[in-house]
Chains A and B, each alone.
Chain A
Amino acid sequence: MRITPRITAALAIVVVSAVALTGCASGSAAKSTATTATIGLTAEPANLDFTTTDGAAIPQALLDNVYEGLVTLNNDGEIEPLLATSWEVSSDNKDYTFTLADGVTFSNGDKFTAETVKWNIENVKSDKWTISLKSYMDVVDSVEVVDDTHVTVKLSKPSNDWLFRMTTRIGAMFDPDASTDLANTAVGTGPYTVAEFNSGDSLVLEQRDGYWGTKPALEKVTFKYFSDPNAENSALQSGSIDAISGLSSLDSMSLFSDTSKYTIQDGSTNAEVVLSMNNASGIFKDVRVRQAVNYAIDRQAIITNSTADTGKLIGSMVPPTDPWFDSSLVDAYPYDVDKAKELISEAGVEGATIRFRIPNLANVSAAAQQVQSYLTAVGFKVELDTLEFPAQWLDKVFTGHDYDMSIINHVEARDIATYADPTYYWGYDNAEFQSLVAKADAGTADEQVSYLKDAAALLSKDAVSDWLYLESYVSVVKPSLTGLPANQLGESLNVTDLAWS
C-alpha cells in the first residue's frame, strides 16, 4: 500500500498529459495519385533559410522548385537560361548583361524585375547572408539596372566561375518585400510553393497559380525524410513512397532488382570521397610519404567493398562531368605495395604513427577500416579515431587542423579551387597551383579547361590527397514515374519534370 498511490498518481499524470498534449500533432502520409508524387530523401532541411544555414538539404528541396535563379544547371551539368532568357558578356569578360523573362511574378504576386536582381545580388554581399558560400559573390563589383528587363552585372575581374555559381543557391532570387522570415516561409518565382514543412517528417511542395513558365505536370510533390535507410527502403517496398532519390545504403540495391517494379538510376555527382592528409605538419609534409599512401591503397577494392561497385576512380579532385577531367590521372598511382614501402623507407618514416581522425558517417567508416589495413600492411601504425559529425569533426579536423589523415566526401561542385587556399584543412600551399587556378578563372573558356587540367595534374603529382573515388547517385524509382533527375551535379533536386506515364 505504500507504493500503489505513488504509481496511481504517476499514471494519472501521464494519462492527463497525454490527453492534454495531443492537440496539435502533425504529419500526413499522402497516397500518391496521378498528380502527386512522394520522393524519399535522407537529409532533412534544418529550416527553409539557406542564406544563414549551411547544408545541402535546403537548396536541394527549394532551388529550381521554389526559388529560381537567372541561370540554372541542367542535368548534364551545363548552364542554361532560367529567369534570364539570354546574356551577353563584354569583350573584357567583366560585364554580364542579362535579358530577363517577361511577366515573372513571385508566388505572392509581387513582380520580378531588374531591380529585384540588383537587390538580391547586393543582399548576398551584405551581412544578411552569413553562409560561407556567399563569398562567390565577392567578385561582383556593381549591378546596374538598364530597364525593367535588362540588368548589367559588373565584375571586378573576369571570372568564369561566377556565372556557374549563379546556378547555385547564391543566385536564388528572393522577393525583397517578403524576406523577413526565410526560415519558415519561402516566396520564390518557381512553379511550386512550400505548402507544409513538418520537421522530422516531410516537406510538401504545391503548385502555385500564375507561374510564368511551363506548368509542371504534378500538382503536389512531397519530400519525405528518412533518418534510417532501412525505413526508407521499406517505405518504397510497401508503396508509401514513389522513389528514393540518392540511396544511402548501396548494399540494399539488391532489394530493388525486380525491374518490373523498380527502375534503378545510376547517376553522377560532384562528391569526391577524399582521403585527406595534413600537408602542413607531421609525416605528410613529405611528398614521398603521401605518394606512398597513394600506392599502398587498392582503391578499386574499396569501391567494390563499400560502394557496391558504383563508385568511380578519379585520380584527382575533378569529376568526369567537368570539362577538365583528365582520365590519365586515374592510373597515376597503381596499387603497388613494394613501391609504397620503398618510398616509406626513403623518407625514413617506417613504423610511424598516423592519427586517422574520421567523421562518424557510415560510408566513411567502412572505407576507413580498409584504408587502415592497407596502411598497416606497409608498416604504418594507424590510430583510428572517430569523431562526431558535424560538430566535433569540424572543430578538431576541419577548423583545428589537428589530424594527420581523415576521410570525407567533398560534395561541392568544382571544388578543386579549395586546394588553392593554404588555410584550408589540407594545408597545401603551392604558388604554382594557386596561379593556375587564378588564371583559369580569368581566362577564356578554353583557357579555363587547359589551366585546370594542369592544376589537376599538379595535385596528382604532389599526391596532396588520395582521391579514393567519386560517389554515385543511385536512385530507385517506380517505372511509371518519369523525370526524376538521375545526376546530382547542381544543388537542387529539380522535380518540375516529374510525371506519371
Chain B
Amino acid sequence: MLMRFARRTGILIATLIVGSMAVFLLLRVLPGDPAQVALGVNATPEALAQLRHEFGVDRPLPVQYLEWIGGIFRGDFGTSYVTGRVVAAEISKRVSVSVWLVVLGQLAAIVIAIPLGVLAALRQRKASGTVFAGISQIGVAVPSFITGLLLINIFAVRLGLVPSGGWTAPTEDFGLFVEQAILPVLTIGLVQGALLSRYVRSAALDVLREDYIRTARSKGLMPLRAFLRHGSRNAAVPVITVIGLQVATLIVDTIVVERVFVIPGLGSLLFDGVANRDLLLVQGIVLLIVATILVMNYIIDLLYLAIDPRMRRSA
C-alpha cells in the first residue's frame, strides 16, 4: 500500500516536471520574439537587445527554465512581459471567472443531455426518437459562436430581456451576474449538452439490451421506469467519464463563448498571451491546466486504493 502510494506520487512529480519542460520548450520553439512584439515595428536592434535582456530571454534555455521553475516552487510565476503585473494574480483573477462559466455551463449541459439522450434511446425505433437524435446531431454540428450570436440576437437585441454581454462577479451584484451569465451558460450548455446526449444515448442503448432490463420489462415495468430503476446507474458510468473529460477541456474551450459575450476569462487571457508572446503568462496558464488534470487523476487514483481493496493487493 505504502509502496504504491509512493510510486503514484513519484509518477505525478515526474509527469509534472516533464510537462513543465514541454510547456517551456514549446513556447521557445514557437517563432516570434516577445521583445519585437512589445516594441513594435520600428524598434532598433539595440532596444530589442536591451528588452530581451530585461525579459531574460537572451540567456541559455536551461538557466531560463530553472529560474522559472524555481520561482514556481516559491509560488512566484513571474511577471507578465506585457502587463507588468504578477502572473499568478492575473491568472487567479481570470480563473475565478472561468470556473463559474465551466461549472454552470457543464451543469446546463447535463440537464439538457440526460433527458434528451435517454428519450432518444428509449424511442430508438420510433419517429420521436429519431427527432431527438436529430436535434442533438444539429446541436453538435452548430459551432458555439453561432449559437451564442443567435441567442444574443433573439434575447438581447430583439427582445431586450438580458444584456448582450459582459461579466459581473456574483459577489458584486448577484442579479446582474444572473442576467449576464444566462446566455453564455446556455450556449455552453446547448453545445456541450448536444455532444453529451450522444454518449447518453449510446450508453442507455447498451444498457437497454441487457438481460436484467428484459427481466424488469417482463415483470411489467414500463420501459422508462425499467431504465430508471435498473439501468440508469450502469448507464451513468461511461457518461460520467465523458463529463469529466468535458470539464477538463472546457476551461480553455470556453474562449469562443468568452469572445462572443465579452467575458474576461482564462481562455481569452491565454489567447492574448500567445498572440503577444507573453511567455511567462502562457507558461503559467498551460502549466496550471496540466497540473490540475494530473492532480485530479492522482487524487482519484488514491481514492481507488482507499475504496477498492482488490487494487491494493494487485500492487
Interface residues of A (CB under 8 A from B): 2-7, 9-11, 13-15, 17-18, 21-29, 46-47, 49, 52-55, 127, 130-133, 135, 181, 183-184, 198-201, 224-228, 230-231, 234-235, 237-240, 388, 390-392, 394-396, 398-399
Given contacts A24-B93, A25-B167, A395-B32, contact A201 B50 (CB under 8 A): no
Q: Is A231 touching B259 in the complex (CB atoms < 8 A)?
A: yes
Question: Which B-chain residue is minimally distant from A410 (CB atoms)?
Answer: B41
Question: Which B-chain residue is minimally distant from A12 (CB atoms)?
Answer: B299
Number of cross-chain contacts by CB at 8 Å = 224
Q: Is A22 touching B264 in the complex (CB atoms < 8 A)?
A: no
Tell which of A3, A23, A130, A237 touches B96, judged by Cβ atoms closer than 8 Å: A23
Tell which of B84, B92, B163 touches A49, judged by Cβ atoms closer than 8 Å: B84
Q: Is A15 touching B264 in the complex (CB atoms < 8 A)?
A: no
Q: Is A22 touching B303 in the complex (CB atoms < 8 A)?
A: no
Given contacts A5-B303, A130-B50, contact A235 B165 (CB under 8 A): yes
The answer to whether B26 has its CB under 8 Å from any CB of chain A is no
Complex Cα–Cα for A22 and B174 (A): 12
Q: Is A21 touching B32 in the complex (CB atoms < 8 A)?
A: no
Question: Which B-chain residue is minimally distant from A200 (CB atoms)?
Answer: B264
CB distance from A58 to the nearest CB of B (A): 11
Q: Is A53 touching B180 in the complex (CB atoms < 8 A)?
A: no
Tell which of A7, A53, A235, A398 touches B164, judged by Cβ atoms closer than 8 Å: A235
Tell which of B171, B173, B262 touches A231, judged by Cβ atoms closer than 8 Å: B262
Complex Cα–Cα for A22 and B171 (A): 8
Give the chain A neighbours of B276 by CB distance below 8 A: 46, 391
Q: Is B240 touching A183 in the complex (CB atoms < 8 A)?
A: no
Show 27 A/B contacts (Cβ-Cβ < 8 Å), sorted by A: A9-B296, A9-B300, A10-B244, A10-B247, A10-B300, A22-B96, A24-B93, A25-B93, A25-B170, A28-B168, A28-B176, A52-B39, A54-B40, A130-B39, A132-B39, A132-B40, A183-B83, A234-B149, A234-B164, A240-B166, A388-B275, A390-B32, A391-B277, A394-B33, A394-B41, A395-B31, A396-B31
Question: Which A-chain residue is minimally distant from B95 (CB atoms)?
Answer: A21
Given contacts A9-B299, A132-B43, A183-B83, contact A26 B93 (CB under 8 A): yes
Complex Cα–Cα for A398 and B256 (A): 30
Give the chain B neighbours of A27 by CB distance below 8 A: 97, 166-169, 264
CB distance from B163 to the nearest CB of A (A): 5
- Give a binary string over B253-265; 1 marks a CB under 8 Å from any A CB, 0 the rest: 0000001111111
- Give a binary string over B135-175; 1 marks a CB under 8 Å from any A CB, 0 the rest: 00000000001000100110011001001111111111100
Number of interface residues of B (CB under 8 A): 79
Nearest 4 CB-CB pairs, A to B?
Answer: A391-B32, A54-B40, A200-B264, A25-B169
- Give a binary string over B72-98; 1 marks a CB under 8 Å from any A CB, 0 the rest: 000000000011110000101111110
Q: Is A10 touching B264 in the complex (CB atoms < 8 A)?
A: no
Q: Is A240 touching B165 in the complex (CB atoms < 8 A)?
A: yes
Give the chain B neighbours of A133 by CB distance below 8 A: 40, 42
Complex Cα–Cα for A226 and B275 (A): 16
Q: A2-B304, A54-B40 are in contact. List 15 more A-B contacts (CB 8 A).
A: A3-B237, A6-B241, A7-B241, A18-B103, A25-B168, A47-B83, A127-B50, A183-B84, A230-B260, A234-B152, A235-B262, A238-B157, A391-B36, A391-B276, A399-B36
Give the chain B neighbours of A11 by CB distance below 8 A: 244
The answer to whether B290 has its CB under 8 Å from any CB of chain A is no
The answer to whether B119 has its CB under 8 Å from any CB of chain A is no
CB distance from A477 to the nearest CB of B (A): 18
CB distance from B186 to the nearest CB of A (A): 15
Give the chain A neighbours of B145 by CB distance below 8 A: 228
Given contacts A2-B308, A7-B243, A132-B39, contact A392 B167 (CB under 8 A): no
Residues of chain B in range 230-246 having any CB-CB distance to chain A below 8 Å: 236-238, 240-241, 243-244
Given contacts A23-B96, A29-B180, contact A200 B268 (CB under 8 A): yes
Tell which of B33, B164, B299 touches A240, judged by Cβ atoms closer than 8 Å: B164
Q: Is B237 touching A4 in the complex (CB atoms < 8 A)?
A: yes
Q: Is A392 touching B41 in the complex (CB atoms < 8 A)?
A: no
Q: Is B261 touching A231 in the complex (CB atoms < 8 A)?
A: yes
The answer to whether B269 has its CB under 8 Å from any CB of chain A is yes
Q: Is A199 touching B41 in the complex (CB atoms < 8 A)?
A: no
Complex Cα–Cα for A457 and B94 (A): 52
Max chain B CB contacts within 10 Å: which of A25, A135, A230, A238? Answer: A25
Q: Is B83 touching A135 in the complex (CB atoms < 8 A)?
A: no
Give the chain B neighbours of A392 by CB distance below 8 A: 31-32
- Give a binary string over B169-197; 1 marks a CB under 8 Å from any A CB, 0 the rest: 11111001000100000000000000000
Give the chain B neighbours of A224 by CB distance below 8 A: 262
Complex Cα–Cα for A198 and B275 (A): 19
Give the chain A neighbours of B32 by CB distance below 8 A: 388, 390-392, 394-395
CB distance from A272 to the nearest CB of B (A): 14
Give the chain A neighbours of B263 by CB distance below 8 A: 200
Complex Cα–Cα for A22 and B168 (A): 11
The answer to whether B291 has its CB under 8 Å from any CB of chain A is no
Give the chain A neighbours of B30 by CB distance below 8 A: 391
Max chain B CB contacts within 10 Å: which of A4, A6, A133, A183? Answer: A6
Give the chain A neighbours of B213 by CB distance below 8 A: none
Given contacts A49-B84, A199-B264, contact A398 B156 (CB under 8 A): no
Given contacts A10-B244, A240-B164, A240-B165, contact A25 B307 (CB under 8 A): no
Give the chain A neighbours of B169 by CB distance below 8 A: 22, 24-27
Question: Which B-chain residue is minimally distant from A424 (CB atoms)?
Answer: B42
Complex Cα–Cα for A240 and B152 (A): 12
Complex Cα–Cα for A201 and B47 (A): 31
Q: Is A9 touching B303 in the complex (CB atoms < 8 A)?
A: yes
The answer to whether B51 has its CB under 8 Å from any CB of chain A is yes
Give the chain B neighbours of A24 by CB distance below 8 A: 92-93, 96, 169
CB distance from B33 to the nearest CB of A (A): 6
Residues of chain B in range 31-68 having any CB-CB distance to chain A below 8 Å: 31-33, 36-44, 47, 50-51
